[in-house]
Structure 1
Amino acid sequence: MAITAQLVKQLRDITGAGMLDCKKALEQTDGDVEQAVTYLREKGIAKAAKKADRIAAEGLCNVIVDGNVAVVYEVNSETDFVAKNTQFLALIDKVGQALLTSGVTTTEEALAVIVEGKTIEIILSEATATIGEKITLRRVNRVEKKDDQVFGAYKHMGGRIASLSLLNGNNEEVAKDIAMHVAAQNPKFLDQTQISADMIASEKEILLHQALEENKSEAKPKPQNIIEKMVEGRLNKQLKEICLVNQPFVKNPDETVEQYVSRNKTAVVSFLRLEVGEGIEKKETDFAKEVAEQMKA
């Protein structure tokens, strides 16, 4: 029987399982939806689907380097307690090795990667059912370097933050230092050439409004030309604070990152930084209240 997109959607609506899982279930059951539901339940995938609406904002980020290839990725769980689970840590490693060897560059591609006869999407669903918390692969980044370049990799607090730097040359110590700096200082851009004109104009407008409001309360208000110079100064300072090369080097604030790498006859090409759960709106949970309600039941 032909497995149509409509049939896959029907099964997904019933179980909440992933599209790939639904397609495989229907293939295994010759398109019988009821049998496919049973198949997913037996695999623990339908059970995992019940947790699909939960928020997984904890977990770990990881960075793996192998020769000229590096991957930086994030696997999420619902609690930081589970993130310390040996089963979860083993899952992190399994996913990372698959990402490294598969050549995928996006999360969508990663979920379809086959590991030991199963897709990563199915492996995560099974982990959700086994561990008892929603487990997701959220972000995947792949970086390749040239032979005359070097990676620097760093993990903070076991993977709460993972960072990767790419530098010209072969100075691994400097590359590691830059990765540590990136983890600590969280730059947004490599240098000011990466900042869009729209963003600069927007920030300048905000700073101008702030300066004009401050000027209103001054005993002796400043003239417009002075305010404009003041805004330019504040803008330049702000832009430098978010650019890696302009930041004071974390190990020696007396020199900038650019001065540090230049002194070591190298230059930063690019960097990546992931922090667990950034950008996810976390749900506030009153555990005491939950326990009290369960005791009443």
Structure 2
Amino acid sequence: MAAITAKMVKELREKTGAGMMDCKKALIEKDGNMEASIDYLREKGMAKAAKKSGRTAAEGLVFDGVSDDNKTAVLIEFNSETDFVAKNESFINFGNKLVEISLNSDVNTVEELKAVEIDGKTVETLITELIAKIGENMNLRRIEKVTTDGFVATYSHLGGKLAVIVEMSGEATDTNKDKANGIAMHVAALDPKYLTSSEVTTTDLEKEKEIARKQLEAEGKPAQIIEKILIGKMNKFYEENCLVKQIYVRAENKETVEKFAGDISVLSFKRMKVGEGIEKEESDFAAEVAAQING
């Protein structure tokens, strides 16, 4: 049997991120064969990761990036179970790597991104290995990618808890990029539901009208007056919910986003917030710790 040295254990740990004792055990099991030991730890790591895959991952970060030519932008939501892990260097580096891959390939979906190979391993496999290394479930949840004939800009808020892409017409001059960044920040702050009034569906509009009508009826307004008031209320609805009609968040003269943009215009926007739509598990922390102590 080959002698297992501290140097071998250290090398295996650096290659796999596994614990010292696990590395020593793997080397003993595989008689000092480094590659076989790596495979052994991967197999064990995958088994550990599988046990964690059922746990809810609703924290994490939205990673964003823009191509060098300002023609493509991407948002990727990569989830973890806790905010603590979202601050882990390995987690952050991996998220940034996902953005780099997405910007430099033709992937547009989570499935396509998971299938990309890096040094002989798929992204999906690398996520599994990261789960085993860090000890929490993780999930590559969403990707939004925008490519344009104009230019794109992104804005990240709260350290990556929320991010935005705006697609703009025109050229990516410094002045125009400043405007685009300002509009992306506005989208993050005000969360518009539509780009323009033309995107508001008849169903949405009728729903808003019905709510407003019932409120006015409850106030005792006459029917003929209600219809006139509704016109004003629907105009207000457009101003509050359509990006280009909203008052720009940093405007000093009450100008709309459309006017702030000037000779360029917003073509589309994407807004992504960590964990939106995920039902988080409620747990008794004291009971959870007790359960872990009791094995």
Same fold (TM over 0.5): yes
Letter in 2 for 1:165: V
Q: Which runs of 5+ in 1 are unaligned?
A: 1-37, 216-220
For residue 283 of structure 2, what is the aligned residue in structure 1? 285
**Kept in 1: contact 2:244–2:257 (CA 8 A):** yes
Shift of 1:296: 6.0
For residue 107 of structure 2, what is the aligned residue in structure 1? 104
Moved more, 223-232 or 167-176: 223-232
- Of the three residues 209, 214, 220, the one matched with 1:209 is 214
**Kept in 1: contact 2:239–2:246 (CA 8 A):** yes
Secondary structure of 1:159's match? coil
For residue 79 of structure 2, what is the aligned residue in structure 1? 76
Do the aligned partners of residues 286 and 238 (structure 1) sit closer, same or farther apart at CA in structure 2, a change above 3 Å counting?
farther
In the alignment, the residues of structure 2 paired with residue 53 and residue 231 of structure 1 have an alpha-carbon distance, to the nearest angstrom, of 49
In the alignment, the residues of structure 1 paired with residue 196 and residue 264 of structure 2 have an alpha-carbon distance, to the nearest angstrom, of 16
In the alignment, the residues of structure 2 paired with residue 166 and residue 295 of structure 1 have an alpha-carbon distance, to the nearest angstrom, of 52
**Kept in 1: contact 2:209–2:234 (CA 8 A):** yes
Shift of 1:224: 0.7
For residue 160 of structure 1, what is the aligned residue in structure 2? 161
TM value normalised by structure 1:
0.78
Letter in 1 for 2:239: K
Shift of 1:131: 0.9
Q: Deviations over 1:98-124 (max 9, x none)?
A: 111221111122211222211111111
Do the aligned partners of residues 131 and 294 (structure 1) sit closer, same or farther apart at CA in structure 2, a change above 3 Å counting?
closer
Letter in 1 for 2:53: A
Letter in 1 for 2:206: A
Shift of 1:210: 3.1
For residue 256 of structure 2, what is the aligned residue in structure 1? 256
Moved more, 39-48 or 108-117: 39-48
**Kept in 2: contact 1:43–1:126 (CA 8 A):** no
For residue 30 of structure 1, what is the aligned residue in structure 2? none
Correspondences of 1:114-263 after superposition (within 5 Å) = 114-146=117-149, 149-170=150-171, 171-212=176-217, 214-215=218-219, 221-252=220-251, 254-262=254-262
Q: How many residues align?
A: 250
For residue 14 of structure 2, what is the aligned residue in structure 1? none
Secondary structure of 1:280's match? coil
Q: Which runs of 5+ in 2 are unaligned?
A: 1-38
Secondary structure of 1:50's match? helix
Overall identity of the aligned pairs, in %: 46
Letter in 1 for 2:177: E
Secondary structure of 1:285's match? coil
For residue 36 of structure 2, what is the aligned residue in structure 1? none
**Kept in 2: contact 1:150–1:167 (CA 8 A):** yes
For residue 14 of structure 1, what is the aligned residue in structure 2? none
**Kept in 1: contact 2:72–2:151 (CA 8 A):** no
Letter in 2 for 1:163: V
TM value normalised by structure 2:
0.79
Moved more, 94-103 or 225-234: 225-234
Do the aligned partners of residues 274 and 151 (structure 1) sit closer, same or farther apart at CA in structure 2, a change above 3 Å counting?
same
Shift of 1:294: 4.3
Do the aligned partners of residues 206 and 39 (structure 1) sit closer, same or farther apart at CA in structure 2, a change above 3 Å counting?
farther
**Kept in 1: contact 2:167–2:268 (CA 8 A):** yes
In the alignment, the residues of structure 2 paired with residue 43 and residue 292 of structure 1 have an alpha-carbon distance, to the nearest angstrom, of 26
Matched, 1:268 2:266: yes
Shift of 1:155: 0.8
Q: Deviations over 1:31-80 (max 9, x none)?
A: xxxxxxx9897162232121222111110001111122211111000111
Moved more, 202-211 or 247-256: 202-211
Shift of 1:291: 2.3
**Kept in 1: contact 2:56–2:81 (CA 8 A):** yes
In the alignment, the residues of structure 1 paired with residue 44 and residue 126 of structure 2 have an alpha-carbon distance, to the nearest angstrom, of 10
Secondary structure of 2:255's match? strand
In the alignment, the residues of structure 2 paired with residue 233 and residue 288 of structure 1 have an alpha-carbon distance, to the nearest angstrom, of 54
